[in-house]
């Protein structure tokens, strides 16, 4: 039995335009991957303003498109768009179904990734919640904690599907696990069949980033990608033995071939021989990609090992406020004028007694992307340079006042063409959130993970 799973979303804010093409092509599961570390921070800001928020606000747009297909029994939807408030996301899904006049749907919400209720207990354990990057102990956490979530795996989604869920909305579930879950459910893969779990994880990884398996962000001959304005999103035609064919809906743009698929295979993979997920330690070095032509690539040969005994966890804390300004300078001496303006702003802030904890200066057109390794260029001949300056302060008022120190330079800057760009010369301050990665034992989390189903 072939199961067709589609990657309909790669991030919060992705385009919904590819969803109809996937649904019309006929998919058994539409998987919507919406979360990243930055996304959780954005959703936390939403929840601070409104306790009923905290899920991705574009979720209803996806559900409006998919729910009619779900109601006809043509597909199921799995998404982690619940963010840090999956219960509210489930309520929003039920509201969307009512607005569409649809009934007979079973909507599951998976909870238990929220670690806030047991944060003190976890931190009190030996080495508990130490920073996974720096080794700092939790006592150095620059709190208060605004959120703390574990990255769950496929199992709670499998349980929800087994209970007849048509739509499964989760909080922080690992990206590839969204795609692995329906394969475990459909094929009955065992919890310790590491090779099959690794195969499903590889399939999920190839589909989780929407258009990157179908020609998006291609590092090779990107200019040959057909109809990039109509880029397809991927479909995986999966088999019980863990093999799959990656393809795309007919009549869409983009391309699926050996290069586009291997491009995504290596994306965000630190160690291809040990890709750590909540479900399995996958070895992608054994994977085989066979280009079948006609936008079809067969994936096989994945191997896996036992999963680790811990989940990744992420906690968030306040980290001050940032301000930003962008100003452009024209020839002649564009780069020199931009560098002089950086010095002037720093000095004006100092003379005004404004405490700046951190500065960042980028010179767009010279070294903004490559920094100190940017190639040498004849800077005297650069026709235009955009200076982007950002700063971090302890409070919003100070961050805003630093930006205002740039305003007098409109008539008092180095000569020839200083103009605001983008957010201009005094962008509104923005709250910064710091992230604290950690590991947490699975047995301390699994007992609180469960799902609830609402029938609408």
Long-range contacts made by residues 64-68, C-beta under 8 angstroms, separation at least 24?
64/96, 64/100, 65/16, 65/19, 65/20, 65/23, 66/8, 66/19, 66/23, 66/30, 67/96, 67/97, 67/100, 67/102, 67/105, 67/167, 68/100, 68/102
172-181, 199-208, 275-284, 429-438, range with the lowest pLDDT: 429-438
- Closest by CA to 148, choosing from 430, 440, 432, is 440
pLDDT at 73 over 80: yes
pLDDT at residue number 417: 59
For the chain, the straight-line distance linking the first and the last C-alpha, in angstroms and rounded, comes to: 30
> Closest Cα partner for 385 from 335, 340, 326, 419?
335
When comparing pLDDT for 238 and 416, which is higher? 238
Share of the chain above pLDDT 90, in %: 86
Q: 420: pLDDT confidence band, cut at 50, 70 and 90?
A: low
Instruction: Please state the rounded mean pLDDT for residues 160-184.
Output: 98
Residue 425 in this model has a pLDDT that exceeds 70 = no
Nearest to 347 by CA among 420, 426, 406: 406
Structure confidence by residue, pLDDT tens digits, 289-341? 999 999 999 999 999 999 999 999 999 999 999 999 988 888 888 999 999 99
Average pLDDT rounded to a whole number, residues 42-55: 92
- For residue 221, give both structure tokens: 């001959």
Average pLDDT, the chain: 94
pLDDT in tens, 113-157: 999 999 999 999 999 999 999 999 999 999 899 999 999 999 999
Mean pLDDT lowest among 159-173, 308-322, 366-380: 366-380
Neighbours of 355 (CB within 10 A): 11
* pTM for this predicted structure: 0.94
Domain ranges of the chain: 3-113+151-308, 316-435
* Statement: residue 58 has pLDDT above 70: yes
72 against 412, higher pLDDT: 72
Residue 189 has pLDDT above 60, yes or no: yes
- Top CATH class of 316-435 equals alpha beta
For 230-269, the pLDDT digits (tens) are 999 999 999 999 999 999 999 999 999 999 999 999 999 9
How confident is residue 369, by pLDDT bands cut at 50, 70 and 90?
confident
d(CA 154, CA 170): 10
For residue 419, pLDDT beyond 80 = no
> What band does 423 get if pLDDT is binned at 50, 70 and 90?
low
Specify the 3-state DSSP secondary structure of 351: helix
Q: How confident is the model at residue 371 (pLDDT cuts 50, 70, 90)?
A: confident
Which one, of 193, 214, 188, 179, lies nearest residue 282 by Cα? 193
């Amino acid at each position: 039995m072939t199961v067709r799973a589609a990657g309909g979303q790669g991030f919060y804010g992705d385009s919904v335009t590819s969803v109809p093409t996937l649904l019309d092509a006929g998919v058994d599961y539409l998987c919507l991957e919406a979360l990243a570390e930055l996304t959780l921070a954005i959703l936390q800001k939403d929840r601070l303003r409104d306790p009923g928020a905290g899920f991705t606000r574009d979720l209803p747009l996806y559900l409006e498109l998919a729910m009619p297909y779900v109601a006809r029994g043509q597909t199921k939807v799995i998404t982690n768009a619940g963010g840090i408030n999956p219960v509210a996301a489930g309520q929003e899904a039920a509201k969307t179904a009512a607005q569409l006049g649809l009934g007979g749907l079973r909507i599951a919400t998976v909870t238990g990734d929220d670690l806030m209720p047991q944060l003190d207990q976890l931190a009190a354990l030996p080495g508990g919640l130490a920073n996974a990057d720096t080794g700092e102990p939790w006592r150095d956490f620059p709190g208060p904690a605004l959120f703390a979530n574990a990255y769950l795996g496929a199992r709670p989604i499998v349980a929800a599907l087994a209970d007849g869920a048509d739509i499964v909305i989760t909080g922080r579930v690992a990206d590839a696990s969204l795609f692995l879950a329906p394969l475990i459910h459909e094929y009955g893969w065992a919890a310790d069949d590491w090779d099959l779990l690794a195969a499903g994880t590889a399939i999920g990884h190839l589909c989780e980033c929407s258009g990157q398996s179908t020609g998006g962000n291609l590092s090779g001959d990107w200019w040959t990608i057909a109809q990039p304005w109509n880029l397809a999103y991927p479909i995986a035609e999966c088999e019980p033995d863990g093999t799959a064919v990656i393809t795309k809906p007919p009549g869409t743009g983009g391309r699926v071939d050996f290069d586009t698929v291997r491009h995504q295979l290596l994306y965000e993979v630190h160690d291809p021989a040990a890709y750590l997920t909540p479900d399995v330690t996958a070895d992608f070095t054994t994977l085989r990609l066979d280009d079948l032509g006609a936008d079809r690539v067969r994936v096989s040969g994945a191997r896996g090992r036992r999963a680790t005994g811990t989940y990744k966890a992420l906690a968030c804390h306040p980290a001050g406020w940032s301000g930003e300004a962008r100003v452009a300078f024209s020839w002649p001496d564009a780069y020199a004028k931009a560098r002089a303006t950086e010095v002037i702003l720093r000095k004006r802030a100092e003379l005004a007694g404004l405490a700046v904890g951190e500065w960042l200066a980028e010179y767009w057109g010279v070294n903004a992307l490559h920094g100190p390794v940017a190639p040498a260029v004849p800077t005297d001949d650069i026709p235009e340079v955009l200076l982007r300056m950002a700063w971090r302060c302890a409070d919003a008022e100070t961050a805003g006042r630093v930006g205002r120190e740039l305003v007098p330079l409109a008539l008092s800057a180095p000569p020839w063409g200083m103009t605001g760009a983008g957010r201009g010369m005094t962008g509104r301050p923005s709250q910064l959130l710091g992230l604290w990665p950690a590991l947490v034992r699975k047995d301390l989390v699994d007992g609180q993970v469960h799902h609830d189903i609402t029938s609408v």
